Structure 1
Amino acid sequence: MVTHDSNTQHISAQFDHELEEIKARMLEMGGMVEQQVSSAVHSLVEKDPDQAERVVSRDHDVNMLEVEIDDDCSRILARRQPTASDLRLVLAISKAISDLERIGDEAAKIARQSITLCEEGASPSGYVELRHIGNHVAGMVHDALDAFARLDVDMAIQVAKEDSQVDKEYGSAMRSLMTYMVEDPRVIGSVLKEMWALRALERVGDHACNIAEYVIYLVKGLDVRHLEISDLIAQLEEK
């Protein structure tokens, strides 16, 4: 005989499984876009158009995965009507996959610049700043996803701090590239393409920071979007 309590436990176990499944799929998508960013940067720095083409072609896979996970989130919201922490988890995943899809878009933009630069010739900068910032933001994406997987608020805060550093590195790199264009107008075309790639990387850092903020929302129930890092830490200490 199936009792009311055993039936409730069965439904609860099914729900927990569904939540773990969409979280696992979000992290799978995250791993995919993290690789997309690294491959796009590598294709540009190492002048590898074939790798760049693969990045562009895989962007469709990232887009389709976002649609599938978003459908799963909508279905859970409609059928299970989650509350409290379960609701925050579904909402955080729904928001995170949107940022992950945009990271994939930025990686594809970098790859397209890579293909063009491979045809036109290298930038005079040697892509030093681009390699450095590329490694930095790829690490941020990795750490943001790790923080989500572990529900690690401290790691999420560190990712938010890293975003400020990336912004500074981006500003410095842009000033350096401007110097090349002033000194030799013949390189303006290639340097502009590198600038567009750097801009895409800076946006990747922004999206990684967003995912870190969703971790804080998920664990603490605080919406810390648009806060300065000092204000964010102060709010968490009050909580």
Structure 2
Amino acid sequence: MTEKSAHSHHISQQFNADLDDIKTRMLEMGGLVEKQVADATNAFMNLDTGLASDVKQGDNLVNSLEVAIDEECTIILARRHPAASDLRLVLSISKILSDLERMGDEASKVAESAIRLTELGGLPRSVLEIRHIGDHVSGMVRNALDAFARLDIDLALAVAEEDKAVDLEYGTAMRSLVTYMIEDPRTISSVLQVMWALRSLERVGDHARNIAEHVIYLVKGANVRHVDIDEMAATVQE
């Protein structure tokens, strides 16, 4: 039996059903978080306080799902004592849940910055950096979840590589905003909200990379946290 098929076959049909349930629920939670990130970006770009409030409310559901699904993982570990690939699957899901919950927190922070920026009267310039990075990290979240669903380690590696691009975009945007504040100190309060929103979006990208690393661990059994992209690629190609 191949590594991938080991994740979909087990002597106990009920165990299979339990594993399928936590996988499905985690992916549904991931879809919700992806939407939260996209909505938070749109709320910020359009200064839509109604949508921003919806994102903040939605974070409560994300938190509840994380607790409920993680509890299911704990029950499976206690009752089934899974081994090998099954154990890696449950542990990976538990870790991915944590990353998704933190993404939800970051989306909520972006929404909060949108509300505060609206109260400050917005910005006298377009902030396309938010749109670009927001769209970028939303795509990373989607691809990381797809990589998990398909056990696609090549796609997982691509997500990790994308995180480097986001980091570069983030650095460029922050330097531009610092220059803008220096040129017009009256905008400092507003620009700080943009900077905090960008920081939250950059962190979403970090968590998407974490999910990609969990996928590689799940399929290859190798811990690729805290290694550079070259080492990660070598692990994927083994």
**Superposition TM-score tier, normalisation by shorter sequence:** over 0.9
> In the alignment, residue 85 of structure 2 is paired with which amino acid?
S
Whole-Å separation in 2 of the counterparts to 1:81 and 1:229 = 33
Match of 2:5 in 1: none
Whole-Å separation in 1 of the counterparts to 2:59 and 2:235 = 37
Q: Cα RMSD between the aligned structures?
A: 1.2
How many residues are aligned here? Answer: 230
Percent sequence identity is: 61
Match of 1:154 in 2: 154
Spell out the pairing of 1:97-112 with structure 2 (5 A cutoff): 97-112=97-112
**Does structure 2 conserve the Cα–Cα contact (< 8 Å) formed by 1:44 and 1:52?**
yes
Aligned pair 1:35/2:35, yes or no?
A: yes
Distance 1:184 1:68, change over 3 A: same
Aligned pair 1:82/2:55, yes or no?
A: no
Match of 1:182 in 2: 182
Match of 1:206 in 2: 206
Spell out the pairing of 1:16-27 with structure 2 (5 A cutoff): 16-27=16-27
Match of 2:96 in 1: 96
Whole-Å separation in 1 of the counterparts to 2:126 and 2:50 = 20
TM-score after normalising by structure 1 = 0.94
Whole-Å separation in 2 of the counterparts to 1:67 and 1:150 = 25
> In the alignment, residue 111 of structure 2 is paired with which amino acid?
A
Whole-Å separation in 1 of the counterparts to 2:171 and 2:45 = 20
Structure 1 residue 123, shift from structure 2 partner: 2.2
Cα deviations by residue, 1:122-148 (Å, 9 ceiling, x for unpaired): 224411111100000000000000000
Aligned pair 1:13/2:13, yes or no?
A: yes
Greater C-alpha radius of gyration: 1
Whole-Å separation in 1 of the counterparts to 2:157 and 2:92 = 16
Structure 1 residue 161, shift from structure 2 partner: 0.2
**Does structure 2 conserve the Cα–Cα contact (< 8 Å) formed by 1:143 and 1:155?**
yes
Cα deviations by residue, 1:148-198 (Å, 9 ceiling, x for unpaired): 001000000000000000000000000000111010000000001100000
Match of 1:57 in 2: 57
TM-score after normalising by structure 2 = 0.94
Whole-Å separation in 2 of the counterparts to 1:10 and 1:170 = 44
